[in-house]
Structure 1
Amino acid sequence: MILVAIIACEIAFWVAIVAGLVARYPLRRPRLGVGFLVAAPLIDLVLLTLVTVDLLGGATASWHHGLAALYIGISIAYGHRMIAWLDAKFATRFRGAPRRAPLTGAAYTVACWKDVARTALAVAIAAAILGGLIAIVAAPDRTAELLGFFRILGIVLAVDVIWAVSYTLWPKKAPAEAAPVR
């Protein structure tokens, strides 16, 4: 049940964002677009409520509940950035805005470390949700699975740190200019 809720919320999140940007650009209804974009964080609240009600209703925690916590953390920490990225794509397509130049070198390295900070925030939010669920349910036999999810959160953060370290040591090179076709 919770896995279906996570999938439904993920789909609803992206539908709300795309609907907001479609309203904003092709339909030229920016206020309607803002309405859809504001719905995105509300979807996270719905998912958190569903997870809490499920556990308080007697369900035994599973990896699905941990995944919901991680999804909410990522959605909050990276949501603005994901929306800004998609907004730039829509602006390029529908308003003729210039494409963003790809990041390379030190700029890409800085972006990687900013992502580490976002990932740390996502992990902290997920950990707080998991801790809150464990405390609210107050049934260690039913929430034991959630304790194991803290290790997964550590792995997620560690992978992102390794990614940033690798681009610190070996900066991303600019793409080679294409040779003229003869």
Structure 2
Amino acid sequence: MILGIIVACEIGFWVLIALGLAARYILRAPRLGATLLVLTPAVDLVLLVAVGADLRGGGDASLPHALAAAYLGFSIAYGHRMIRWADARFAHRFAGGPAPRKAYGAAYARACWGDVARTGLAVAIAAGVLWLLTRVAAEGADVTALTGMYGILGVIFAVETIWAVSYTIWPKKAPAEVRGAAAT
């Protein structure tokens, strides 16, 4: 059941973003678009309440419960960025906005370090939600699936950090056609 709620929340998140951007750029209704985009955190709240209620009701923690905590952390930490990413592409496609530009070199490395900070925030939020869920779980419930997620969160943060270090040492080079266009 919890896995289904996680999937429904992920779908709901993207549906709200798509509807918000469609209202903003296709229907030319910026207030409606903004309202729909502002509702995206409500999806996270629904998920948190559902998972907490399931554990409080006596259910043993399982991998989907732990994934819900990770989803919440990453949704909160990366949600605004994902909306900006989608907004730039929607504006380009439907409103004549500028084409999104890819970063290379030092700019890409800086973006990677920004992701390290966001991932650190996501991991901290997910860890806090895991802790909270272990506290609301019914007396005697098995919460090892929740506590086992801490190590996975550490690995995710370590991989993100290694990624940033690698692009700091070996910067991402622009394709030849981009380098050639910049030289002219």
Q: How does 1:132-171 map to 2 (within 5 A)?
A: 132-137=132-137, 139=139, 141-171=141-171
Query: 2:86 maps to what in 1?
Result: 86
Q: Offset of 1:100 from its aligned partner?
A: 2.5
8 Å CA contact 2:58–2:138 kept in 1: the answer is no
Secondary structure of 2:116's match? helix
Q: Give the whole-Å Cα distance in 1 for the aligned partners of 2:20 and 2:141.
A: 43
The letter for the 2-side match of 1:58 is G
Q: Give the whole-Å Cα distance in 2 for the aligned partners of 1:137 and 1:58.
A: 7
Secondary structure of 1:142's match? coil
Could you list the runs of 5+ residues in structure 2 that have no partner in the other structure?
A: none
Q: Offset of 1:137 from its aligned partner?
A: 2.0
8 Å CA contact 1:134–1:140 kept in 2: the answer is no
Q: Offset of 1:141 from its aligned partner?
A: 4.6
Q: How does 1:14-163 map to 2 (within 5 A)?
A: 14-137=14-137, 139=139, 141-163=141-163
TM-score normalized by the length of structure 2? 0.94
Q: Offset of 1:136 from its aligned partner?
A: 2.2
CA RMSD of superposed structures (Å): 1.3
Q: Give the whole-Å Cα distance in 2 for the aligned partners of 1:146 and 1:101.
A: 39
TM-score normalized by the length of structure 1? 0.95
| Displacement over 4 Å in runs of 4+ | none
Could you list the runs of 5+ residues in structure 1 that have no partner in the other structure?
A: none
The letter for the 2-side match of 1:99 is A
Give the paired residue count: 179
- In the TM superposition, what whole-angstrom CA distance separates every residue of 1:9-59 from its partner, at most 9, and x where no partner exists? 000000000000000001001111111111110000000000000000110
Structure 1 residues 84 and 114, CA gap change in structure 2 (3 angstroms) = same
The letter for the 2-side match of 1:15 is V
Q: Offset of 1:169 from its aligned partner?
A: 0.9
Give aligned-pair identity as a percent.
Answer: 59
Q: Offset of 1:139 from its aligned partner?
A: 3.8
